[in-house]
Structure 1
Amino acid sequence: MSKNDLSKKLKSKVAGFKFNFAACLFKMKRRSGLLPILIVALIFFILNAYVLSGIKVVIHQEWLAPAFWVFIVGITVALVLAITKMRKGINQFFTIVTHAFLIMLAAETVFAIFLFIGDLYRVASSITTNFQPQGYHMDERSYYWVDVALMMFGLTVLLFAFGIRNGKYAYRVIKHTLYFDDLPQSFDGFTLTQISDIHAGSFTKPKEVQKGIDLINAQKSDLFVFTGDLVNNAASEIVPYIPLFSQIKVPFGQFSVLGNHDYGDYIKWPTEADKIKNLNQLKAYHQELGFKLLLDEHVVLEKNGEKIILAGIENWGVGFGERGDLNRALQHTAVNDFKILLSHDPSHWDAQVKNHPSKIQLSLAGHTHGMQFGIEAFGIKWSPVKYRYKHWAGIKTENNRYLNVNRGFGFLGFSGRIGIWPEITVIELKRK
């Protein structure tokens, strides 16, 4: 065999190896993508099988198991269909199916927790009890714990029903007084009202929204700011509510920024030009609302010859688009100027703001909604969103700088709120 033939043969084998290796990698990627889905599906199956085993204690019918699984499979298939069509926008089918699935899943989880407590008690009793009465079988479940689990299942459903019917418009005014060494004397006692995440496309009751507007105006603040997500997807969603939100008027003006939903990234547009047109229309609607939209820029607020800087950037969030340019927004400001920053996503504060060379004394964000579900009572502050965001609601201070995360004025996805109520924030600036 000649050197040329040997060289060609080696090249052929190397090319074949590279192709096979690439094919293996591709298969591994596909498998790794399927793995989380398979794990979730397995957990979901185990949860439902466990719940069914508990229901069988009180319902002794042959039809129970087939009917149960037909229902579970049916609602799961409906959920998948609803999600696949979501790119066209949130419709009534999506809302009904997702809410039904969410309520079912939450109630089943609560049922399973109490059933498991009963099972643990049963196992512990079987270990510690030396004598069992004749005819007693410790492997049989107690009706007591199944009844408790069923009661908690029903309470969970009622809780979600309350959140859907009443929670989403149960506006709360939350007040904070913040102290600063470098606040200009003229702004001592200056107040601002912040709302965030209006999500106008989710509203169905303008009269209830009006109650929130009235609460905002009742605060009689010096400044009003809105920290993004005016709509869910399309600019047209805000049109019916322009007469309501345009009622907000304060002495130092109304200012706003964009949130991740305002860019129309979550639905499919006929063309890119349509998407751009929608964003431009949304910006025009901010003006109709009487909101000065800050796009990587700042304004100077003056009082008695002293000033503070109000800056606002386009959405910047880890995993949600890093569009904003903080340095551009702060151009022509001094390092030690007193600054308030509007930035929709609180992850921006950790990434760029809290250690920025130009001191930003107060940042205002939203975005998290507090996941619209959680507990804030009796010294407990918890929501599932804490596993995604280190700071998801209220005031945080670090490096002698403050961040406030508003829990949101509106709602999205889940058409309700439980324990995390829609928020109107009022902040008073005080000089130390």
Structure 2
Amino acid sequence: MNRFFTIVSHAFLIVLVSEMVFAVFLLIGDFYRVVMSITTNFQPLGYQIADRNYYWVDFAFIMFCLTVILFAFGITRGKYAYRVINHTLYFDDLPKSFDGFTLTQISDIHAGSFTKPKLVQKGIDLINAQKSDLFVFTGDLVNNMASEIVPYIDHFSQIKAPFGQFSVLGNHDYGDYIKWPSETDKVKNLDQLKAYHKELGFKLLLDEHVVLEKNGEKIILAGIENWGVGFGERGDLNKALQNTSINDFKILLSHDPSHWDAQVKNNPSKIQLSLAGHTHGMQFGIEAFGIKWSPVKYRYKHWAGIKSENNRYLNVNRGFGFLGFSGRIGIWPEITVIELKRKDSL
């Protein structure tokens, strides 16, 4: 039943959007003819729809077909079209031993949406190919139920990094979006999900931090439970930073980027780099020819990539998986690789 509903709903979406594109280009053609009629007496203002310039009709139909093709690609291949995005970030206060340190970040796996294990494996292989010093996952392992990750434990447990693999929870991991037989069942599901993080080889950070050491120097890696405006404010940043120094170099894993604006970017204890996900870039948008747009921008100030403010950085990963719409168009699944550098190494 779920598969049938997915097929029908996606077919309806494709036809609806394609028809809208077709109509928009017809309207553009109509507007063009009206303007021409006013400026050159090209056509009386009272022309009939049947008198439309067929070049515009043909062009509108071509755009209709391209929209159908684009959606078909996004649904069949785009959602597994993993991209590696590299960033090099410079800091005044990065410990010298960590100059050149690399980390790989993914977010929003949403294992319950996957249907192609072989294509997921290609993403895993691409992660390991980066050979980063550290691996981090910033939440939403599943859509709702812990059992969704079980078929993919053997895949994601392949991810290894010299300084370890660390994770946090996202809003979907708490099981808030389905009805449970009892609150006890919901709690058991979350406990099982936490156990699966361990089985994957991920150290789950629950309002806590770890110290990463190299040549006698250290950086702090902290992680909090989900904190997001409108999506549950569970995380306790102060608890996660307990027993750290204001001057320590800190990296924070926090699923929702709204947390950065609310508590992180102006926090008295400087957090040099925050890593988030959550938005998926809405799995639809344009990032080409200098254009960066997605409908999700009307909900989140910063929805993808690097943001810098107050000498602090935020990276929002576009997500590894997908949810709701079973595809991606223009906003491809992302594997982020960040290299930390000292400014004096420039």
Same fold (TM over 0.5): yes
Corresponding residue number in structure 1 for 2:284: 373
* Aligned amino acid, residue 138 of structure 1: Y
Q: What is the Cα deviation at residue 132 of structure 1? A: 5.4
Q: Confirm or deny that 1:360 pairs with 2:299.
A: no
Partner of 2:61: 150
Answer yes or no: is 1:233 the counterpart of 2:113: no
Structure 1 segments unaligned to the other structure (5+ residues): 1-89
Confirm or deny: 8 A CA contact 1:193 1:426 kept in the other structure.
yes
Residue deviations 1:29-83 (CA, integer Å, cap 9, x gap): xxxxxxxxxxxxxxxxxxxxxxxxxxxxxxxxxxxxxxxxxxxxxxxxxxxxxxx
Question: What does the per-residue CA deviation read over 1:149-185, in whole Å, with 9 as the maximum and x for residues that have no partner?
Answer: 1221111011100111110111111111111000011
Residue pair 2:105, 2:336 contacting (<8 A) in 1 also: yes
1:233 and 1:124, CA in 2 relative to 1: closer, same or farther beyond 3 A?
same
Contact 1:200–1:241 under 8 Å retained in 2: yes
Larger strand percent: 2
Residue 230 (structure 2) aligned to one of 319, 332, 340: 319
Matched residue SS, 1:192:
strand
Of 76, 79, 82, the match for 1:171: 82
Q: 1:132 to 1:192 in 2, by over 3 A?
A: closer
Distance in 1 between the 2:187 and 2:114 partners? 24
Are residue 257 (structure 1) and residue 168 (structure 2) matched?
yes
Distance in 2 (CA, whole Å) between partners of 1:131 and 1:309 is: 70
Report which of the two has the higher share of helix. Answer: 1
- Is it true that 1:348 corresponds to 2:297 in the alignment? no
Please give the TM-score of this superposition, normalised by the length of structure 1.
Answer: 0.77
Please state whether the residue corresponding to 1:413 is helix, strand or coil: coil
Amino acid at match of 1:184: P
Q: Which moved more, 1:409-418 or 1:123-132?
A: 123-132
CA displacement at 1:130 relative to structure 2: 3.7
Instruction: Work out whether residues 33 and 43 of structure 2, in 8 Å CA contact, stay in contact via their aligned partners in 1.
Output: no
Name the structure 2 match of 1:138: 47
Q: Which runs of 4+ in 1 moved over 4 A?
A: none
- Match in the other structure for 1:126: 37
- For the residues of structure 1 that align with 2:139 and 2:246, how far apart are their CA atoms? 26
Q: Determine whether 1:212 maps to 2:117.
A: no
Superposition pairs of residues 104-119 of structure 1, within 5 angstroms: 104-119=15-30
CA contact (8 A) 1:197 1:411 kept: yes
Look up the match of 1:289. 200
Distance 2:290 2:62 in 1: 26
Q: For 2:319, give the aligned amino acid.
A: G
**Alignment-derived partner of residue 202 in structure 1:** 113
Distance 1:122 1:207, change over 3 A: same
Rounded to whole Å, the distance in 2 between the matches of 1:244 and 1:368 is 24
Name the CA distance, whole Å, in 1 between partners of 2:39 and 2:94: 66
Cα pair distance change 1:132/1:341, threshold 3 Å = closer
Structure 2 runs not aligned, ≥5 long:
none
Paired amino acid for 1:307: K
Structure 1, residues 373-404: CA drift from partner, whole Å, max 9, x if none? 11111111111111111111111100000000
Highest relative contact order (Cα 8 Å, sep 6+), 1 or 2?
2
Residue identity in the other structure for 2:218: K
Indicate if the aligned counterparts of 1:95 and 1:413 stay in contact, CA closer than 8 A: no
**Could you tell me how far apart the structure 1 residues matched to 2:222 and 2:88 are?**
21
What is the match of residue 21 of structure 1? none
Task: Establish whether residue 160 from structure 1 lines up as the match of residue 71 from structure 2.
Answer: yes
Which of 273, 276, 300 is the aligned partner of 2:187? 276
- So what's the TM-score if we normalise by structure 2? 0.96
Q: Deviations over 1:129-154 (max 9, x none)?
A: 34759xx9623333332222122111
Q: Distance in 2 between matches of 1:213 and 1:201?
A: 17
Identify if the C-alpha distance between structure 1 residues 150 and 326 changes in structure 2 by more than 3 Å, giving closer, same or farther: same
Q: Give the match for residue 92 of structure 2.
A: 181
Task: State the distance in 2 between where 1:275 and 1:142 align.
Answer: 60
Rounded Cα–Cα distance in structure 1 between residues aligned with 2:317 and 2:43: 57
What's the CA shift string for 1:227-273, capped at 9, x where partnerless?
00000110000000000100111111000000011011111111111
For residues 324-355 of structure 1, the C-alpha deviation after alignment (integer angstroms, 9 at most, x for no partner) is: 11111111101110000000000110111000
Q: Is the 8 A contact 1:126 1:138 kept in 2?
A: no
2-structure distance, mates of 1:91, 1:297: 39
- Whether 2:2 is the aligned partner of 1:91: answer yes
User: How far apart, CA to CA, are the structure 2 residues paired with 1:411 and 1:137?
Assistant: 49
Counterpart AA for 2:225: E
Alignment partners' CA distance in 2, 1:131 and 1:326: 67
Q: Distance in 2 between matches of 1:398 and 1:308?
A: 20
CA shift for structure 1 position 311: 0.3
Q: Which moved more, 1:242-251 or 1:91-100?
A: 91-100
Secondary structure class of the residue paired with 1:418:
coil
What is the root-mean-square deviation in Å for CA atoms of aligned residues? 1.5
